[in-house]
Structure 1
Amino acid sequence: MPVLLSSALHHQLLAEAAAAFPHECCGLLFGSPDRIDAAQPCANVADDPARTFEIDPAALIAAERVARSGGKRLVGYYHSHPNGRAEPSPRDASDAARDDRLWLIVAGDGITAWQASAHGALHGVFDPVEILLPAS
């Protein structure tokens, strides 16, 4: 199933990745399985943010609590690959929960979408998801 990403969010994620370079940016995605309505930047608390990412656990816990109380629905995560390809790495696969949530990966001027599942086609975890961008 494709996922709709607004032009504004597309530009936001590209700008955030460029600003974080040479480190990886990261954050949370809110909406529904077929539409991303908001992206919340989070601190990358990884030991080596130039090579990996870790979303600040406090931000993740807070988002889960808001969602459980009827607030914005957490549908996934995003991060950048400053010196890589816009697809999940083997490390991303080893760190990913197989929870059917979306992962957006920003590299250069591209963004790709993936769904983390129990038996994905890439690294046994991720399946590609088409991103739909509305006309500007």
Structure 2
Amino acid sequence: MKKASMAAAPREACGLLLGAGREIERFTECANVSEVPEIRFEIEPAALFAALRAERAGGPAVLGYWHSHPSGDATPSRTDAAMAAPDGKLWVILGGGAVTCWRAGAAGLWGRFAAEAWTIV
């Protein structure tokens, strides 16, 4: 994720977090198809649909999403909160050398994100 984030700058990099239960087994890098990729991310729908089909077929679950903040702040933005469904998915954000993890819900930062204590290397 760190390498993909550096390579994408000044655009936001993004992708999916895959695994089972509370274990992220791997991540994917997806195309950012946002009209303004320097300040917003949108995961390529085909990649998301393929991961969801694989999950239904017995593959790893889509546990959440990751993206970078080229601005350097690894905290969810108001835009992130507006985009996030309160579905319990993880949001990993990389920025300024930091990696943070959040869970999307109905409360917390911007009314949407609760910090999660995950170790991400």
1:70 alignment partner, one of 53, 58, 61: 58
**Distance in 1, Cα, partners of 2:21 & 2:71:** 28
Is 1:98 the equivalent of 2:70? no
TM-score, length-normalised on structure 1?
0.85
**Distance in 2, Cα, partners of 1:109 & 1:131:** 16
TM-score, length-normalised on structure 2?
0.95
**Distance in 1, Cα, partners of 2:78 & 2:119:** 26
**SS at 1:51 equivalent:** coil
RMSD: 1.2
Q: Which residue pairs with 2:113 in the alignment?
A: 126
Per-residue CA deviations over 1:24-74 (Å, capped at 9, x if unaligned) read 000000013422110000000000100100000111111111101111111
Q: Which residue pairs with 2:68 in the alignment?
A: 80
Is 1:59 the equivalent of 2:44? no
Moved over 4 A (4+): none
Is 1:47 the equivalent of 2:26? no
Aligned identity (percent) is 45
Per-residue CA deviations over 1:57-102 (Å, capped at 9, x if unaligned) read 1111111111011111110000000014101100000010111010
**Distance in 2, Cα, partners of 1:89 & 1:108:** 14
**Distance in 2, Cα, partners of 1:38 & 1:125:** 25
Cα distance, 1:133 vs structure 2: 4.9
**Distance in 2, Cα, partners of 1:101 & 1:15:** 23
2:23 alignment partner, one of 14, 27, 35: 35
**Distance in 1, Cα, partners of 2:46 & 2:64:** 16
Q: Which residue pairs with 1:26 in the alignment?
A: 14
Return the structure number with greater strand share.
2
Letter of the structure 1 residue corresponding to residue 7 of structure 2: A
User: How many correspondences in the alignment?
Assistant: 121
